[in-house]
Amino acid sequence: MLNIRSLPWAEIHEDLDRDGFARTGPVLTQDECEELQALYDDGAFRSTIQMARHRFGEGEYKYFDNPLPPLVAQLREGLYPELARAANRWAEWLGDEPYPETLEEFLATCHAAGQTRPTPLILRYGEGGYNALHQDLYGDVAFPFQALTVLSRKGEDFDGGESVLIEQRPRQQSRAHVISLSQGELLFFPTRYRPAKGSKGHYRATLRHGVATLTRGERLGLGVIFHDAR
């Protein structure tokens, strides 16, 4: 894994503030992506969700159980401090309460609110699979950012299946961002809203995310959510 501290964080923060999302270029190696893919069949999970059953889309995803796999835990713990910096900048603009500086402190806040179940997950889509637009909220406590990486190879293992972000601002038409990630690249995006600059200061622009329909093959992805679930 690329050293998380060596990521171009100044550019990432700039992208987050300007666009509401940011991408990193490959962080996980091909071997690490394949290691994570193998966990889909061999890992320890607390829950498996058939998406069609709940009208979430077409596909399946699984929430990891504690202890998290080492690579997943490293990503969650390593990414949190810099994303907390961005979260606190956004909180100041929006008049929200600040977030703890470390993941351990933040998870203690989740647990005090009755949110104790881990939320990092691995997702699998086949041909025709998709994920409907949604937000990943699991209780009263939510961290403003989450991270996604695609473990499969676009153009080799699958086609289609782009990540989709839809932004809704008051009294405006929705804006779509369609993002095609390289294997092992990270995408940071808002859990529910981002600050947008208006004539009277910042306001909340709501975002939802999903996955476009796969036209061929199979796509596995890893989602790193920082708040735990009730």
CATH number of the domain residue 90 falls in:
2.60.120.620
* Domain ranges, residue 86: 4-225
| Partners of 130 in beta bridges | 58
Domain assignment present for 73: yes
Domain assignment present for 30: yes
Q: Say if residue 172's pLDDT is above 90.
A: no
Q: How far apart are CA 17 and CA 33, in angstroms?
A: 29
What per-residue confidence (pLDDT) applies to 130?
Answer: 98
Mean pLDDT of 158-187: 95
Average pLDDT score over the chain: 97
Q: How far apart are CA 150 and CA 224, in angstroms?
A: 12
Q: How far apart are CA 195 and CA 193, in angstroms?
A: 7
Number of structural domains (the chain) is 1
pLDDT tens for each residue of 106-145? 999 999 999 999 999 999 999 999 999 999 999 999 999 9
Domain assignment present for 53: yes
Domain assignment present for 196: yes
Mean pLDDT of 205-223: 98
Residue the block writes with tokens 């369609």: 178
Domain assignment present for 230: no
Residue the block writes with tokens 């991270």: 147
- Residue 89: how many CB atoms within 10 A of its CB? 15
Domain assignment present for 89: yes
